[in-house]
Amino acid sequence: MPYNQDLTNHFEADAAETVIAWALKQWGSQLGFCTSFQAEGMVLIDMARKMDADIRVFTIDTGRLHQETYIFMDQVRKHYGIDIQVYFPDLLQVESMVSRNGPNLFYESATSRIACCQVRKVAPLRRALKGLDAWVVGLRRDQGGHRRGIRKVEKDHDHGGIMKISPLADWTQDEVWSYIKTHKVPQHPLYAQGYMSIGCAPCTRAIQPGENTRAGRWWWETDTPKECGLHYAPETGSFERNLDVFVEQKAS
């Protein structure tokens, strides 16, 4: 089915497997599965791998990940028999940023943190998506913030208007973990230590009982969006424009 204005509503009542099967048929090798090896991403890889032997999986290695993530990445590669394309930040950009602001600039201010995310995450993602027609992500509406408005299929204006697929948009956290247990999907080892959102090691911590699942991200910040810029409103691209402003301010 080619994209049209009604496509954003077409799959809203369909199961995640239906959305993935359609996307694989529609784009084949031009469809990328983006993962940081968290629970949702593992569910998507498991579903897709059962449908297609040649799924295209990629991840962003910021250079500041937990050692547990690197170990788990190897486990996932072997378990599913897949290649995982790894994208790194530009060395010269990292050198320049760290030389000016130090290795832990993200603790200084939200502006500094977002500038770091721009270099280590957002810029590599642009390279990862180059040449793709669509990408699949594990976003869920009940994660809060702007994610409440995501669609299962929508145009991503932050990345040239390619399609962004969120098959688990209407899933709950309980449904994610029920699938993992039922299908014996490999789990990131940090979940057993109380982590519920796993990113860079300096910017992620385990959460306490009763805390929001994303409370462990950038926990030192208050009243700031718990986002890094990889995912924001596809229909506007507004966060990317703000990121560009932040980076220009840090460079001046």
- Secondary structure letter of residue 31 according to DSSP: E
Q: What is the pLDDT of residue 212?
A: 83
Answer for the pair 142, 166: CB distance below 8 angstroms, yes or no: no
Q: What is the pLDDT of residue 91?
A: 97
Please indicate, yes or no, if residue 203 is contained in any of the structural domains: yes
Q: What is the pLDDT of residue 195?
A: 94
Which is more confidently placed, 84 or 213?
A: 84
CA distances from 139 to 29, 66, 70, 146, 233 (A): 22, 21, 22, 11, 12
Q: What is the domain-level CATH number for residue 21?
A: 3.40.50.620
Please indicate, yes or no, if residue 149 is contained in any of the structural domains: yes
Number of independent structural domains in the chain? 1
Please indicate, yes or no, if residue 232 is contained in any of the structural domains: yes
Which is more confidently placed, 162 or 144?
A: 162
From the centroid of its chain, how far is CA 157? 16
Average model confidence (pLDDT) across the chain: 88
Please indicate, yes or no, if residue 2 is contained in any of the structural domains: no
Q: What is the pLDDT of residue 236?
A: 45
Sheet (strand 31-34) strand order: 84-87, 56-60, 31-34, 134-136, 162-165, 153-156
Answer for the pair 87, 57: CB distance below 8 angstroms, yes or no: no
Confidence band (pLDDT; 50, 70, 90) for 222?
A: confident
Please indicate, yes or no, if residue 205 is contained in any of the structural domains: yes
Residue 224 clears pLDDT 80, i.e. is over it:
no
Average pLDDT over residues 141-145: 80
Please indicate, yes or no, if residue 1 is contained in any of the structural domains: no
Q: Which of 5-19, 170-184, 222-236 has the lowest mean pLDDT?
A: 222-236
Q: What residue numbers bound the domain in which 157 lies?
A: 7-251
Confidence band (pLDDT; 50, 70, 90) for 232?
A: low
Please indicate, yes or no, if residue 228 is contained in any of the structural domains: yes
Average pLDDT over residues 141-163: 87
pLDDT in tens, 86-134: 999 999 999 999 999 999 999 999 899 999 999 999 999 999 999 999 9
Share of the chain above pLDDT 70, in %: 87
Residue positions annotated with a catalytic role = 228
pTM of the shown model: 0.87
The residues with which 87 forms a beta bridge, in sequence order, are: 60
Q: What is the pLDDT of residue 26?
A: 94
pLDDT in tens, 44-63: 999 999 998 799 999 999 99
Average pLDDT over residues 136-152: 86
Q: Which long-range contacts (C-beta less than 8 Å, at least 24 apart) are formed by 196-202?
A: 197/38, 198/36, 198/37, 198/38, 198/66, 198/69, 199/36, 199/65, 199/228, 200/62, 200/64, 200/65, 200/120, 201/64, 201/65, 201/66, 202/64, 202/104, 202/106, 202/107
